[in-house]
A and B are shown apart, each in its own frame.
Chain A
Amino acid sequence: MSELLDLTGAQAAEKIGTGEVDPAELFDFYRERAAAEELNAFLWLPEDGDRPEFKTDAPLAGVPLAIKDLFCTEGVPSTSGSRILEGYRPPYTATAVRNLQDAGAAMLGKTNMDEFAMGSSNENSGYGPVLNPWNHDYVPGGSSGGSAAAVAAGLAPWAIGTDTGGSIRQPAALCGIVGLKPTYGSVSRYGMIAFASSLDQCGPLTRDVTDAALLYRHMLGHDPCDSTSLQHPEEISLPTAERLDGKRFGVPPELTGDGVEPGVKQVFDQTLELIEELGGELVDITLPHSTYGISAYYVIAPAEASANLARYDGVRFGPRTEAGGLTAQYEQTRHDGFGAEVKRRIMLGTYALSSGYYDAYYGNAQRVRTKIAEDFTNAFEQVDLIVTPTSPTVAFKLGEKTDDPLAMYLNDALTVPMPLAGIPAISIPGGLSDDLPVGIQLAGPAFSENRIFEAAYALERAIGWDPPEAPWRR
């Protein structure tokens, strides 16, 4: 059985193709592990013996896939981690999920998450927090914490999630796996339960870089149902690079210095040495406006969220609380259905968009966004990629930051600038600090995913991430 557990998604697909692995056996194996888990990583799993169809001739060959509960899946509960969508079974499936299913992915289950993807610890789920598989007293990160924990604990070979300000990369970092936030628009947002539409983008969470490239290859593409989606100009190839010769890596002091804890800094510095050993060149660059990323993000994302979440009013889907008149019913339904963080962001966003404050908050945040994007454009004239830690700290303890929303927000400081600029970034495991994983982030210009995968792959091999205490071995 443990032989199945050792296979990455790509390896499992290959072995199904050659007939060495039976897809039904693989599916049942993971379904049983997922059903027995203690991390609260899954919100929905199929019944025992209930299997999807296995497309063994397709590239993903019927390998099971864990799907963040924010993706609409036809007839299967899709709550986005919120009580206000409890019991909701969408009438259609998200394009990204459909693309993966067409390529042969078999839906294993729906994973837990911060409510409407708002959070960095998974403690904002309406269905209880997810535990970090490395140490159950710690958070797995968020908002795609269920997907990250499931992959790290070997409850799924691979998973998909979404990233608005770091929600793929940060939980991937805190759980010791790989996570890619692709270029904005490269994957359709159709059927993704919207949080902040100008930032949301879905991507893979996987054990290694090859799996991330393989899933990304099969999820992307222009979709007539999402007019902001774009055709990727390149075919996505599986990475093979062993060296980084001639590649220039920018190191911005704004995202690598203040606030990065010593243990993370140490792993980051070791990674920089590895880059040089592999032939890469380190270049000092500056991203002067990135330090204002949190401020801009926490105006833009809540503002868009306050508009997107207006649809939850107890009329067309989800539970309703009757309260006399129509307006009272809206207000009471939303009071009962939303959790504390979602209410906070609706309030913040509504305030920022309200008459008299709009330009001072939303307008200026969008101007900062322009400056942040310009910083990246300037940097990429000098370097191929930018390297930073993914998160300023390793995983923190459950409950440690729940009473201090601002401290929780500041945790996203190293991951928010990229979605504000629409550019792709990956997190790969760099090492351990205090027995918890440290993530290394590589960011590139729009549509540079192939470049990112090649560099991440070379680095992954040099790092040799294979800790004996890793949770997937248990």
Chain B
Amino acid sequence: MIDRDQVLHVAKLARLRLSDEEVERMSGELSTILDHIETIGELDLTDVPPTSHVIEVENVLRPDEPRPSLPREKALEQAPATADDGFLVPSPAAHA
């Protein structure tokens, strides 16, 4: 069972504000889903290697050649706020 405090802790890790109603609902829904996921526990998985990538590829390298990248003005074009050729955000120090 995922309780309210755990939901709030995970939401903080995910940088996600949840309304009280969302916290309430999330607690029940996550618990139901995790109960189902825990059927994995029926399997003996000792010595089974984990798969993170399905098709075998390794050490994919390309020549390190300089080439043009996205122009600065294009990269900034979609930002909600910009200043001095950069993305504008509130000071991280101002409201810790």
Q: Residues of A at under 8 Å CB distance from B?
A: 88-92, 183-185, 198, 224, 227-228, 230, 289, 292, 294-296, 298-299, 306, 310, 313-320, 322, 324-332, 334-335, 338, 340, 343-344, 346-348, 350-351, 354, 361, 363-371, 373, 405-406, 409, 420-422, 446
Contact = CB atoms under 8 A, between A and B. Distances in A.
Contact of A315 (B13, B22, B34, B79): B79
A421 B89 contact: no
User: Which of B14, B19, B39, B95 counts the most A-chain CB atoms under 10 A from its CB?
Assistant: B14
B2 to A, nearest CB: 7
Contacts of A328: 17, 95
Contact of A347 (B10, B19, B60, B78): B10
Contacts of A316: 75, 78-79, 87
B55 A344 contact: no
Given A314-B80, A315-B79, A366 B51 contact: yes
Contacts of A363: 50
Contact of B17 (A185, A228, A335): A335
A315 B87 contact: yes
A320 to B, nearest CB: 4
Given A316-B78, A320-B80, A373-B51, A344 B16 contact: no
Contacts of B78: 88-91, 316-318
A186 to B, nearest CB: 9
Given A298-B37, A334-B16, A344-B26, A368 B43 contact: yes
A408 B64 CA distance: 46
Interface in B68-87: 70, 74-75, 77-81, 87
A315 B45 contact: no
A367 B50 contact: yes
Given A228-B57, A316-B75, 11 more contacts: A295-B38, A298-B33, A317-B79, A325-B90, A326-B94, A331-B15, A335-B16, A344-B30, A346-B14, A348-B30, A369-B50
Interface of B: 2, 6-7, 10-11, 13-19, 22, 26, 29-30, 32-34, 36-41, 43, 45, 48-55, 57, 60, 62, 70, 74-75, 77-81, 87, 89-92, 94-96
24 contacts: A184-B54, A185-B57, A198-B54, A228-B53, A228-B55, A228-B57, A292-B40, A295-B37, A295-B40, A315-B87, A316-B75, A317-B79, A326-B95, A327-B15, A343-B18, A344-B29, A347-B16, A348-B30, A361-B37, A368-B43, A369-B50, A371-B45, A371-B48, A406-B36
B58 to A, nearest CB: 11
Given A91-B75, A343-B22, A324 B14 contact: no
A228 B80 CA distance: 32
B17 A324 contact: no
A221 B51 CA distance: 24
Nearest to A369: B51
The interface residues of chain A, by DSSP majority, are classed as helix
B92 A334 contact: no
B89 A326 contact: yes
A227 B52 CA distance: 15
Contacts of A406: 32-33, 36
Nearest to B74: A91
Nearest to A294: B36
Contacts of A369: 50-51, 54
A340 B70 CA distance: 34
A420 B52 CA distance: 10
A370 B33 contact: no
B80 A330 contact: no
A373 B77 CA distance: 43
Contacts of A351: 2, 6, 10, 30, 34
A294 B39 CA distance: 10
A50 B52 CA distance: 44
Nearest to A320: B80
A148 B72 CA distance: 37
B18 A335 contact: yes
A330 B17 CA distance: 9
Contacts of A89: 78
Contacts of B96: 325
7 A-B pairs closest in CB distance: A325-B95, A422-B54, A366-B50, A335-B17, A331-B17, A320-B80, A317-B78
